[in-house]
Structure 1
Amino acid sequence: MKKWGKSSLFILIAAILLITAACGSKTKEDAKEEATGTEQTASGSSETAALKDKKIALIMQFNTGTFSAQYIEGVKEQVTKFGGKVQVFASDNDLAKMSGNLDAAINQGFDGILIDHGQAAALEAGVKRALEKNIPVVAFDADLKVPGVTVLSQDDQMMASKTLELLGQDAGGKGNIVKIWVAGFAPMERRQVAYKAFLDSNPGIKEIAAFGTANNPALDAQTQMEAILKQYPNKGDITAVWTAWDEFAKGATRAIQQAGRDEIKVYGIDMSDEDLQLIQDPKSPWVASAAVDPKDIGRVQVRYLYQKLHGDKTDDSVVLDAVLVKRDELPKEAINTTQLNEYIKGWSGRTQGYADWMKELEQAK
């Protein structure tokens, strides 16, 4: 057996010490990394936990009809999934009341504010005050251009164009039409742009009457449409009715049905369960509508608000694409808007605004 000399023994001991030191150093580094990872995970969970139990205010210019009802359902559904609570402030189409409701929500210390419709003159001062108090704001179809506020809208010109193009095709490029529309609302004004372009490019189609009001819109549309039908009593006098809002379409549809003028077709914008029933009815003059799932609108709006609460950077403008719903693409048996996605591709299930961390928030107890 070979004997170890002093020098060999010294080298062996040094090597052992070096390996031990290296292993010790690696262990400390690993421990540091593990501690940092644990700290980051804890931080992430803490940030998510801080978003639970938020109080959200929904300030609405009006909450008329089933479209608004389903939009509110979407808002409440998503906020509830995130562990928060919603309070709806209805303003009865009174902009002064809407401004007061916005001030009330700020004074009551809500964590976030959602706005549905409204005009800048009534809302801008209150919105700026909310931002000064670090209360994030996300609006839908509101005439607002305040830095830091995300505004959602439907692609209104596309919606109008889709229904008008179908009207033109069904009418063979000629005929007399009635428009039901009201000024002063951002989405209506955008839809009017497409309507004007349609008339300019279709000289064979003439507008013979136009009316509309936002107060009791369905009832008013029905009453005024009844008067128009008496003014144009003969079949062929009116080819179609184009409506810029589903509430108008309901009123026009009822008037036409009651008058027995089944040769007149109705084209609308926006969609709810009640609207779908009317479109599916083979005896109804309402044959098509361009729309975005109102529940989806509410869900997406809430997601962008929670992004702001989370500290994420959000776009100033978010546009929701619409689909065209036609009677001839629907089943004969009655369905509701929850089932509509089975027949109309792209109707529901939008993931816009959904961030990865939101899954953790929805699963948090």
Structure 2
Amino acid sequence: MRRWKSWFVLLIALLLVSGCNEQDRVSGKPGTGPDAPAKSAVTPPGNGSAEIPEKLKKPLKIAAITQFSIGTFSSQYIAGLTEQVKAFGGEVQVYNADNDLSKMASYLETAINQKVDGILLDHGRADALAPGVKKAVAAGIPVVAFDSDLNIPGVTVIDQDDYSLAWNALRTLAQDLNGQGEIVYIWVAGYTPMERRNVMYEAFRKRYPGIKEIARFGTASANTALDTQAQMEALLRKYPNKGDIDAVFAPWDEFAKGATRAIQQAGRTEIKVYGIDLSDEDLQLMQAPNSPWKATAATDPADVGRLQVRFLYQKIAGEPVPQVYSVQPHLVEQRLLTSDQPVSMQDIGKYIPGWGQSQAGWSPWMNKLIEANKK
């Protein structure tokens, strides 16, 4: 019975990945940036008119409420979000809750009382935010959330397809180890994307029984990368011999950065690191001589922010917007970053086809709205 249950969990997890990948295949192929021209539309473009909707002919006030702003992924996401709102002629107020859900709920209440035109949520938990989100919807304020467990009619929730992100990284780890080895898992509970990634990790352990977890740790703080580095250094002292640890799975780039630096400083670069998320800082670490960071699964954080804004503007315009949407992830392997010059987020699309090219959420009138608001 126990064996049957294990395989059932694995089957469900793999079906989740299959379903997410099927949804990903509907993405278009535009240029990048907040003013990328719309060549095709993934979501229904309303009446198909290129005329700017009446509600968008005045500058909109948007509230962006984030659970935390730890790490470079968050800063790039906010940059993309802000960039797109400004390209549309709007104003955005960013509220950072510093990982305090009660503060996040309070900021949501503030945005509602200020009668903003739209609300963007980044992370957060439904048990803390659902009452405020329902209040916003009742007040006629559109809401689009990112990486949240909200499930409220009329509220669009986008994510990075965390199941596929995790499986892509884990499958690469398994292949590189040939299905055998001892690994370290760096993870923290309490965050929706982390919980989803952990589903795939548990399925991975059943799929590859020859790969054993010898240690697990992880904390989220204002200095996550430094804390992780210290914890990894202590673990390396506990396992001092080559072959004691074969790889590290770190489903957040702040974890991967800390683990990579600890391994480099200890001279234990035989240990391979596999992560999730990507930034310029991460790319520098991956491209360093003898870097242990072999692969990471990621989406373009700035592109995610831009997409979230486009969905919100479509909602304000009265156009149909999907209830859920998963952004297509990519696997970035160290071996693919072959260049005489360091590869950055600016030019990674040359090495990873489709990177940062989401066409979702474009409507014909958006081009005209951008042109009307160019300074």
Common fold, TM-score beyond 0.5? yes
| Alignment match, 2:263 | 256
Shift of 1:48: 4.7
| Alignment match, 1:211 | 217
Shift of 1:49: 6.6
Contact 1:56 1:113 in 2 (8 A): yes
The answer on 1:281 being equivalent to 2:288 is yes
Using CA pairs below 8 Å that are at least 6 residues apart, which structure has the higher relative contact order?
2
- SS of structure 2 residue aligned to 1:89: strand
| Alignment match, 2:370 | 362
Could you tell me the TM-score, scaled by structure 2's length? Answer: 0.84
Contact 2:51 2:365 in 1 (8 A): no
| Alignment match, 2:125 | 119
> Structure 1 stretches (4+) deviating beyond 2 angstroms?
43-52
| Alignment match, 1:192 | 198
Paired residue for 2:181, among 175, 181, 189? Answer: 175
Deviation per CA, 1:232-291, whole angstroms, max 9, x where unpaired? Answer: 111110000001101100111111111111110110001111111111113221111000
Name stretches of at least 5 consecutive residues in structure 2 with no aligned partner: 1-48
- 1:27-66 equivalences in 2 (<5 Å): 45=51, 47-48=53-54, 50-66=56-72
**Residues in 1 aligned to 2:200 and 2:216: alpha-carbon distance in whole angstroms:** 15
Higher helix share: 1
| Alignment match, 1:339 | 347
**Residues in 2 aligned to 1:247 and 1:44: alpha-carbon distance in whole angstroms:** 42
**Residues in 1 aligned to 2:253 and 2:70: alpha-carbon distance in whole angstroms:** 11
Contact 2:52 2:369 in 1 (8 A): no
**Residues in 2 aligned to 1:237 and 1:177: alpha-carbon distance in whole angstroms:** 9
**Residues in 2 aligned to 1:327 and 1:335: alpha-carbon distance in whole angstroms:** 11
Q: How many percent identity over aligned positions?
A: 57
| Alignment match, 1:166 | 172
Equivalent residue letter for 2:364: D
| Alignment match, 1:291 | 298
Paired residue for 1:327, among 334, 354, 358? Answer: 334
Equivalent residue letter for 1:105: A
The answer on 1:98 being equivalent to 2:104 is yes
Contact 1:48 1:361 in 2 (8 A): no
Shift of 1:121: 0.9
Shift of 1:46: 6.3
Deviation per CA, 1:284-343, whole angstroms, max 9, x where unpaired? Answer: 211110000001100100000000110011111001110000111012320211200011
Paired residue for 1:136, among 134, 142, 147? Answer: 142
Shift of 1:109: 2.0
**Residues in 1 aligned to 2:61 and 2:197: alpha-carbon distance in whole angstroms:** 34
Name stretches of at least 5 consecutive residues in structure 1 with no aligned partner: 1-42
| Alignment match, 2:26 | none
Contact 2:169 2:297 in 1 (8 A): yes
Q: Alpha carbons of 1:315 and 1:111: their partners in 2 closer, same or farther (altered >3 Å)?
A: same
| Alignment match, 2:25 | none
Deviation per CA, 1:93-139, whole angstroms, max 9, x where unpaired? Answer: 11111111111111122111000000001100111111111110000
Count residues with an aligned counterpart.
324
| Alignment match, 1:310 | 317
